[in-house]
Amino acid sequence: MSGIRSRLSGERGSALIIALMAMMLLTGLAAGLVMVSTTETKIASNYSTGQEALYAADAAVERVMQDLLMVPRWNDILQGTSHSAFIDGSMGAPKTLPGGGLLRLCDSTGPDCGTATATGQLQAETDTANLWGGNNPRWRLFAWGPLNSILPASEVDSAMYVAVWVADDPADALPDAQGNPGPTPDDNPLVDSNGTLMLRAEAYGPGGARKVVEATIARTSSTEIERGQIAQRGQEELNQRARKAAVQTPGKTLGNMRMNTTTGGLTVQ
């Protein structure tokens, strides 16, 4: 019995126990540091991808504005018979997104798309909200394609895929006796009465990144379009901004467009 007490009261092996506990503590700290580092890297990557998608959607709006200047009758766009020069094959064909997956923008070549498409879902959301009654917008797919082919003579270093929809301004009203828009809504989303359209650009990127830019544009002269930002999800400092956009003079080739990923600026030359 005394031998057992002697062995229990001895300190032999305690150093091993302390070493094992210290090793477990250090292992836990190391695992925590690795997890924090990995998480921070993913957060930074997701933020960078999200910002790139935001700039891509904004660039798509700027690109479409160049084509809108070349369309003499905006009613042709609203009725689905006119499209941008920036298109990636048939609108009814599935589009491969960066990072994998397919996107169905439309399921036909006509003006109306099925509900199981990006266009159909956008229209369903607008119809459900029904904010403007008879002037509720009818969205038309106008431009779509990879951002790296948005310029005809150069390539943008980006994997984003962008699409732009156009709809009539819901504030469209019947003209008065002097030909100016009056207070009565025209209740026709397929006819432009005031020279103003709504644009919605969406950019899709790796890892499920998706950003939306919505804007209203107005034709002010034969060589100029005024753009007003009405919503830009994902970047608060750019919300509610309004500015004149640089536009292409009819007959002059768009030469160069650069995106500054530091400030988000867009330069057109």
Q: Is 120 helix (H, G, I), strand (E, B) or coil?
A: helix
The model's pLDDT over 117-175, given as tens digits with 9 standing for 90+, comes to 999 999 999 999 988 888 889 999 999 999 988 887 767 788 899 999 999 988 887 76
Q: How many CA atoms lie within 13 A of 240 on its CB side?
A: 2
Alpha-carbon distance of 122 to 54, in angstroms, equals 19
- Tell me whether strands 224-232 and 210-221 are parallel, antiparallel or unpaired: antiparallel
| H or E element, residue 51 | helix 14-69
What's 167's DSSP letter? E
Identify whether the C-beta of residue 237 lies closer than 8 Å to the C-beta of residue 263. no
Quote the CA–CA distance of 15 and 168 in Å, as a whole number: 79
- The pLDDT tens digits for 17-61 are 788 888 888 888 888 888 877 777 777 878 888 899 999 999 999
Give the least confident one: 64-68, 82-86, 112-116, 238-242: 238-242
Q: Is 52 exposed, middle or buried (0-12, 13-18, 19+ CB in 10 A)?
A: buried
Entry pTM = 0.70
Of 172, 163, 104, give the one whose Cα is nearest residue 137.
172
Please list, in sequence order, all residues whose beta carbon lies within 8 angstroms of the beta carbon of residue 76, skipping any fewer than 6 positions away.
82
Give residue 200's pLDDT: 95
CB under 8 Å to 158, separation ≥6 — which residues? Answer: 52, 56, 147, 148, 259
* Tokens describing residue 129: 């909200």
Confidence of residue 214 (pLDDT cuts 50, 70, 90): very high
- Quickly tell me which residue has 């990006």 as its tokens: 118
Q: Give the Å distances, CA to CA, from 235 to 195, 198, 228, 239.
A: 29, 20, 16, 7
Whose CA is closest to 205, among 143, 150, 161? 161
Please state the separation of Cα 111 from the chain's center in Å: 22
Q: How confident is the model at residue 69 (pLDDT cuts 50, 70, 90)?
A: confident
